[in-house]
Amino acid sequence: MGFFNFLTRKQFSGGIAKNRLKFVLIQDRATCSDKLLERIKNGILEVLARYIDIDNEELDIQISRDKSENNQDLSILCANIPIKNIKKIE
């Protein structure tokens, strides 16, 4: 580490690597989980179908990334499930 690096405020390559990896892994993990998402979707549908009528066509499930209050990376499972009708259970 040279003294003048401090003056020029060069970003060290280790930090660059870390940031790039964090970003690329978010994308990788999201694509890897396509099959998993499909299974989650079917599982949720199975349970919900016992109680409500769902619009299967319009169903949308996604995993997205967000920051929590203390600025930590969070994965969030978002499900948009349009309800057609609620079944009456005796």
Selected range binding other proteins among 12-20, 44-52, 59-67, 74-82, rule: CB under 8 A: 12-20
Residue 22 binds to other proteins (criterion: CB under 8 A): yes
For residue 47, give both structure tokens: 């349970």
d(CA 84, CA 67): 33
DSSP state of 56: G
**Contact, 79 vs 61, CB < 8 A?**
yes
- Minimum CB separation of residue 69 from other proteins in Å reads 19
Residue 18 binds to other proteins (criterion: CB under 8 A): yes
d(CA 43, CA 79): 12
Residue 65 binds to other proteins (criterion: CB under 8 A): no
d(CA 47, CA 42): 9
Residue 25 binds to other proteins (criterion: CB under 8 A): yes
Residue 14 binds to other proteins (criterion: CB under 8 A): yes
Where does this chain bind other proteins (CB under 8 A)? Answer: 1, 12-15, 17-18, 20-22, 24-25, 28-29, 32
